[in-house]
Every structure is written in structure tokens, then in C-alpha cells.
Amino acid sequence: MKKKLTVVIILVFTSALGLYFAFTSNRSDSASSPKKEEAPAQQMTPPDAYVSLDGAVRYQTIDNFGASDAWSMEPLGKHWTEENKNRVADLLFSREKGIGLSAWRFNIGAGSIETDQMRIPDPWRRAESFKPSEEAEYDWSRQAGQQWFLQAAKDRGVESLIAFVNSPPVWITKNGHAQPDPDVGSTNLKEGYEYEFAAFLIDVLEHFREEGLAFQYISPINEPTWDWNLAQQEGNRYNNDDLKRVILELHRQLKESGLEAQISAPDGVEITALLDDEFYGQFAGSGPYSGGANSLGTGKYREYIKELLGDPVLKEAIGNKIASHSYWSDYSKPGDDRLGKLRQLLDANLKKYEEKAKYWVTEYCILGDYGPGRDLGMEPALHVARTIHFDLTEANAAAWQWWTAVSKVDYKDGLIYTDFSEAGDEQNILTSKIMWALGNYSKFIRPGAERISLAGLDEEARSGLLGSAYVHEGEQTVTAVFVNDSEDDKRIRVSLNGVDMHHSIAFMEPYITSAGRDLVRGESVPVLDDYSFEAVIPAKSVVTLTGGGADRKAKE
């Protein structure tokens, strides 16, 4: 019996015009009306680009697309109706009703809800702790709202559950708070308390495994470069020696416990902080990197690739994977090519130590001048889609995870927005185009997919028409992503090479995100005899095309 192959092609664009597809054939049309002798022959305008997908050339394997529960899922899970909670869960986790995230980040709180009411004025940014003091028993009823959504993610088939920590529990911090101050030194973790910190995390992981909610990954440290002094959220800095002690002790206890969770680290604040001084100098023209806590005189807070992948013991402890955030890396301008050159240097730096090292983007939202102001429309969605594109194609990211799934603030940091603030408020749900644009990736590029060659576009372009492609052997799918943020429609001719050995692809099913559509399925598009198709791609939209074996059999 023939294997069936499904093709998925995602198109990300920028004009509110409608999407339509034109088809050509190698055969002459004998039924066409004869032309007048005096009229010149009509010539079809050539496509703007000839795009070729090649399944024989493969790059990284995709692990997941995800988002985090910090910190909004706690009040939603506690105070919202079951109907509204389920609607949010469906939008985030369901492949049938939403964007089908394949990873969910669960924040293990430090207990700031009890100690930091003055330091963290917004109650949405404080967190409970399962163990509020060193002598206290564990209270697994805490973080109940977050636990509701963790279970909802599991129930809807989310493949990767990731536990992450912003600060150690307040009872093992030097100042008794969930963020440092200028006097604590290199880190706020009490000296010599790596064992207690790791043991706390092991207890949490073991509890959730017993509840049927096993975490595949644990991230013990978040943005160690940042100084976090009096931050209005939980956080902690660690110099490189501090960081290594935490990772190695947690790794030791994980091995002893028999838990299968892998450590995700260091969750760097930005790409530039990861680089060896040599590579940073190639990007910035000088060095070394001096951001964050590097100016405090309390140690080194940079060069994470060298410090972790360059050490065989630490490389094993972190699973040959570097995790970081894409903040301040989502633009390019003359002399500051962060979308392209910075990510190319990152990839080269990783390969200097380990050819097969993985790179994960574990947090991103729009910061900087463009960050302020809630905007549910397509412009920020295209900004995010472009950032995802370069993380996948230049940095070879194996995972891509958004910051906070639900936001109540006037900022571009959420996938879903609400005006709800406290019990009794209206429980409104506002979906953003950022969420749907992420869905054009997450819903169709599933764990286990491999990125393949996509040729025919300007590889030096940082805007305009951009593209990437993927195959998934298990689901028998092919996915291509095109980003067009120009003001002009682009007509492309797409050929599929080495991706459908059984020639089972008969047509495509488009799923469109635009100003007026939220990942809406469009009309089926047949594939030509020469195994190609043409598409006129409007701007300001995101389109996924999927089709192939199973659909062809159903329509025959």
C-alpha cells in the first residue's frame, strides 16, 4: 500500500487583498479562441519568484512551539468559569479549535505572593510557592490556577511540558525576597544552598509525575545575565560559577531520582550574551559583552556557549542544548543586522563546540520602542512571524516559545488579551493576530519535523518575501513558510522536489490569517501534472496550505 504524504505550506504576507491561486500547465490549450493575426502573442508575466523545495537537504529537527503560563493563568484558572477557561485552553492547545501549541511552560513560583507585596505591586506578577518556608510541608493545592491549565494542556495533547523557575524559593534567598538587591553579591541564592534548591525542584517534578503530569524539561535559571535588582517580578542573577553549581547539582539529583526531565539552560536574556567574546566582537566591532550584571564587578555573566558547551560535563548536563531568548534581536538596520548576521554568528559559535548542538528560543515578545501599546492587528503579527522565520532559518532553532500566553496590559506581550483584573470583572477573551500567526507555524510544524531546503528567494533579504520549509516523516507532511512584508503582492511558482516519492499530493488546503481571517480554511488548490503550482500571494496575511495522500483518496 502506498504511503500517503500531506503537504503543508505556510505563507505569511502583508496586504489586505484576497488570496487567489493561478495554475499553469505544460500542455497547449487547443480549445482556446484563435487570436487575430495582427495582434501580438500574449505573454504571461513571469512569477516574482520560482521557489523550489528539496527534501534531500535537511537541517534541524523541530522539537516544539510553545508559550508560558506566567503569570496570568493563575488568576484565570482560579476565578474564571469552566466555559471560559476551556475556551482559552482550546485556543492555545487544540489543533482543531486553536493553534495547537506543542509545548507549555509552567512557572514554579518562589513565594513572592507572601513576601513581596511592596516590591511587586501588581498581584498578577507575584507567585505562590509549593513550599512557603524551609520548615513547612509541601502544599500542592497552591498554584491551583496554573495547575488547571497544565492539566488542560496535557488533556489536549501538548507534547512537551516544561517547568521553569525565575527565582529560588524565598526561604533560600539571601534577602528573603524573590528578586535581588544591590547588596546580595553575585546571586541572591544563599551560599551553599544549591542542594536545597535542587531538592526542592526534584520534589516538585516527582509530585507532578505522580499526578500524571511528567515534565520533560526543567529550567532552573532564567536570564542570569540580568541584575534583577528590585525588579517588579520574580528573578535572580547568577554569575557563571553560580550558574554551573546550580546546573551540576540539579543534574546529579535528577540522575539519582530516576526522573527523565532534561535541564534547559541558561535561558539567556539575549543572543549577544551567549556569544564567545571572539564572536561578539565580530558582531559589535568591539567587546566583550557588558550588558546586565557584567557591570557589577561580581563575576562574569556572558559567554554561555563556551562555558556550557565547551565543558564536556556541563554539555552533558544541559543535553547538548543552549536555550535563550530573542529579545532585542528582532530587527536589522545598516551596521546592526540582528536578524541575519547575529544569528549566523550564533550558529557558527554553537558549531565551534558541537556540530549537533541544539538551540532553543524559550522566550520572546515584542520589546523596545515597538513594545508599548496593545495591538491585536496584523502589523505586530508580521513582526513576530519575521522573527520566527530568522530564528528557524539562521539560528536553526529547534524550538520557539512565546512569553506569556494571556496578558491584561497595554503591551505587545500576549497571544490572548483580557480586560479582566480581579474576581467579579468581565471575563472577556480577545485573540490577537500574533496568536493566529504563531498558529500558522505551531499547528502545522509538529514535533519531529525537519527543516529542508527552500531555494529561489533572496537569502540576503531581511524583509519582503522570505521562506522556509519542513518535512515530517511521521505525519507525512511538508510545510513551507513564506513571509512577505512588502506592500506588493508576490506571485510565486512552487515546485516540490524529493518530498513526495509516491506522488500522492493532489491538492492543497489553505489556512489563512489576515486582517479579516483567523487561520480560516480556504478553497482546495489542485497540484499540476508537473508537480508545481502558482500562487499570487497578497501582503499582510499568513497562509498555510496542506494537502496530500489522505485527502486525495477521499476525493477520488
Residue 226 reports pLDDT greater than 70? yes
Q: Under DSSP, is residue 366 helix (H, G, I), strand (E, B) or coil? A: coil
What pTM does this model have?
A: 0.92
Worst-scoring range by mean pLDDT, 43-47, 69-73, 227-231, 357-361? Answer: 43-47
First-to-final CA distance of the chain = 16
pLDDT at 529: 81
Answer whether residue 498 shows pLDDT above 50.
yes
Quick one: pLDDT band at residue 555, thresholds 50, 70, 90? very low
How many H helices and E strands in the chain?
Answer: 14, 25
- At 417, the amino acid letter reads Y
- The number of angstroms, rounded, from the C-alpha of 377 to the middle of its chain's C-alpha atoms is 19
Determine what percent of the chain falls in helix, strand and coil, rounding each to the nearest 5.
30, 25, 45
pLDDT at 283: 98
Q: How confident is the model at residue 548 (pLDDT cuts 50, 70, 90)?
A: low
- Give the cell for residue 8: 503543508
- Give the model's pLDDT for residue 402: 99
- Does position 33 have pLDDT exceeding 70, yes or no? no
Q: What is the dihedral of CA 481, 320, 234, 288, to 10 degrees?
A: -90
Mean predicted confidence (pLDDT) in 293-300: 98
Domains of the chain listed by start with CATH number: 6-27+43-60+450-555 (2.60.40.1180)
Say what the pLDDT of residue 481 is.
Answer: 82
**Tens digits of residue pLDDT in 151-167:** 999 999 999 999 999 99
- Please give the C-alpha separations between residue 238 and each of 168, 243, 304, 410, 426, in angstroms, as whole numbers: 11, 5, 12, 31, 41
Q: Which residue has the higher pLDDT, 331 or 18?
A: 331
CA distance 22 to 45: 12
Question: Minimal CA–CA distance to 85: which of 97, 73, 98?
Answer: 73
All three cell numbers of 523: 478553497
Tens digits of residue pLDDT in 425-444 = 999 999 999 999 999 999 99
Rounded to 5°, the CA angle 39-42-45 comes to 150
Mean pLDDT along residues 186-208: 99
**How far is 493 from 188, CA to CA, in rounded Å?**
57
Q: What is the mean pLDDT of residues 539-551?
A: 69
Whole-angstrom Cα distance, residue 212 to residue 122?
A: 32
pLDDT of residue 541: 87
Q: Average pLDDT in the 253-258 region?
A: 98
**For range 12-17, the mean pLDDT:** 40
Grid cell, residue 239, equals 554569575
pLDDT for residue 2: 38
Region 524-533 average pLDDT: 79
pLDDT band at 500 (very low <50, low <70, confident <90, very high): low
Q: Which residue has the cell 476551556?
A: 86
90-148 pLDDT, tens per residue? 999 999 999 999 999 999 999 999 999 999 999 999 999 999 999 999 999 999 999 99
For residue 192, count CB atoms less than 10 angstroms from its CB and return exposed for 0-12, middle for 13-18, buried for 19 or more: exposed
- Mention every residue, 6+ apart, whose C-beta is less than 8 A from residue 517: 541
pLDDT category, 491, cuts 50, 70, 90?
Answer: confident
pLDDT grade for 547, boundaries at 50, 70 and 90:
low
